[in-house]
């Protein structure tokens, strides 16, 4: 195969990963994360039981979680797409090794992606078998976005975007771009922690929280990562004060990210590089979009389409930061 197929497959995997991330958010936010109480099948089937005798056996096997077909199908569709993505990433890695003697053919990153996808599958399994344990749910989200970011980096490297004209304006921006990426990842992790602990509506008003600027909080309880096994976290287990704490920290994180990325956007726009200027505008637009969706989630009481879009906006903003970091480090080896 020609290297163009490696390039095409990488872009296809990138697009599919974005879809998988959105499907994962949809499953989580529609309370379908335990729609199938086993893994990798669903009540012992590769699809959702539909025959009367199958449903009876399913409910007998899991009396504490009777079959809800609409939730089970949401979970299984997500698994089908994730499984297809795993096969696609494996194909990319195989193709990379077959073409490893070709100049410029990356091998290390495709191999790492295979390991990451396998770990993602384990996190998906633990999400179910450990009954929506928040640290696992958050890790599963971050793993999906890490897969998205690495595929984006791989695609950008193959496309040879950037060049000497960017490098001339970019060296002073490398640390700033990297810090922006780190801050955004931290904020996304906080968002995942907020969602996994059912704290998105702990502050139902904006900009105040429960009609106060700083209501009672409980940081110790809010950020306890491990609480042992055998606990179902569906619906959340934290007190009101702990959930409020998580929500407030996520809001504060949003302010930090807004201020820093806003400043970074300005730095990019005043450069003489058109590519960097365009990257700055893209980041600025996505930042405003994401902030609006976050506020809308609170004001509108977390409508499912807006909540899923908020996850999609985070993924797009992350891709924009990955693109920026690639532009200012075009000579990085993959």
**pLDDT tens, position by position, 188-214:** 999 999 999 999 999 999 999 999 999
Residues 178 and 194 in one domain: yes
Residues 46 and 192 in one domain: no
Mutual angle of helices 240-269 and 274-299, in 10-degree steps? 160
Res 160 pLDDT > 80: no
Average pLDDT over residues 295-316: 95
Number of domains within the chain: 2
What pLDDT sits at residue 192? 96
Residues 66 and 194 in one domain: no
Residues 1 and 148 in one domain: yes
Residues 172 and 286 in one domain: yes
Count of beta carbons in the 10 Å neighbourhood of residue 164: 7
Proportion of the chain in helix, strand, coil states, percent, rounded to 5: 70, 0, 30
Residues 155 and 221 in one domain: no
Of the residues 160, 190, 218, which one is the last residue of a structural domain? Answer: 160
Residues catalogued as catalytic: 75
**Cβ partners under 8 Å of residue 39, min gap 6:** 124, 125, 128, 129
What pLDDT sits at residue 169? 61
Instruction: Round the average pLDDT of the chain to a whole number and report it.
Output: 91
Please state the pTM of the whole predicted model.
0.91
Residues 76 and 1 in one domain: yes
Residues 103 and 183 in one domain: no
Res 333 pLDDT > 50: no
What pLDDT sits at residue 334? 46
Identify the bridge partners of residue 212 per DSSP, sorted by sequence position.
Answer: 209
Residues 115 and 243 in one domain: no
Residues 124 and 244 in one domain: no
What pLDDT sits at residue 275? 87
Count of beta carbons in the 10 Å neighbourhood of residue 269: 15
Residues 143 and 248 in one domain: no
Q: What is the pLDDT of residues 8-48, one digit of tens each?
A: 899 999 999 999 999 999 999 999 989 999 999 999 999 99
Of the residues 105, 129, 160, which one is the last residue of a structural domain? Answer: 160
Q: 224 by DSSP, 3-state: which?
A: coil
Domain that holds residue 183: 163-334
Residues 26 and 122 in one domain: yes
CA distance 48 to 120: 22
CA distance 188 to 3: 34
What pLDDT sits at residue 230? 83
CA distances from 196 to 34, 177, 217, 238, 325 (A): 13, 29, 18, 11, 29
Q: What is the DSSP letter of 145?
A: H
Q: For the residues of 194-214, what is the DSSP string, one character each?
A: HHHTT-TTSS-SSSSBTTBSS
């Amino acid at each position: 195969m020609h290297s163009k197929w490696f390039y095409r497959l990488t872009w296809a995997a990138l697009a599919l990963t974005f879809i998988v991330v959105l499907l994962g958010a949809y499953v989580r936010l529609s309370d379908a994360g335990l729609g199938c109480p086993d893994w990798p099948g669903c009540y012992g089937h590769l699809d959702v039981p539909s025959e009367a005798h199958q449903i009876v056996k399913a409910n007998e096997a899991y009396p504490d979680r009777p079959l809800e077909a609409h939730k089970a199908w949401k979970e299984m569709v997500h698994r089908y797409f994730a499984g297809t993505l795993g096969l696609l990433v494996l194909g990319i890695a195989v193709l990379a090794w077959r073409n490893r003697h070709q100049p410029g053919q990356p091998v290390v990153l495709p191999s790492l992606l295979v390991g990451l996808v396998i770990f993602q599958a384990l996190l998906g399994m633990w999400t179910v078998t450990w009954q929506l344990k928040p640290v696992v749910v958050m890790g599963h989200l971050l793993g999906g976005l890490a897969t998205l970011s690495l595929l984006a980096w791989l695609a950008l490297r193959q496309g040879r975007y950037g060049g000497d004209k960017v490098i001339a304006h970019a060296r002073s921006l490398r640390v700033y771009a990297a810090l922006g990426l780190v801050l955004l990842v931290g904020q996304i992790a906080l968002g995942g922690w907020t969602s996994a602990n059912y704290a998105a509506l702990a502050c139902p008003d904006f900009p105040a929280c429960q009609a106060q600027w700083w209501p009672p909080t409980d940081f110790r309880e809010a950020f306890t990562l491990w609480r042992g096994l055998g606990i179902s976290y569906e619906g959340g287990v934290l007190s009101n004060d702990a959930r409020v704490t998580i929500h407030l920290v996520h809001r504060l994180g949003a302010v930090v990210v807004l201020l820093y990325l806003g400043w970074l956007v300005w730095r990019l726009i005043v450069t003489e590089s058109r590519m960097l200027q365009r990257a700055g505008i893209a980041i600025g637009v996505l930042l405003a979009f994401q902030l609006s969706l976050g506020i809308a989630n609170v004001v509108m009481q977390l409508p499912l389409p807006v909540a899923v879009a908020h996850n999609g906006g985070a993924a797009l903003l992350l891709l924009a930061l990955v693109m920026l970091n690639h532009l200012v480090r075009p000579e990085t080896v993959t």
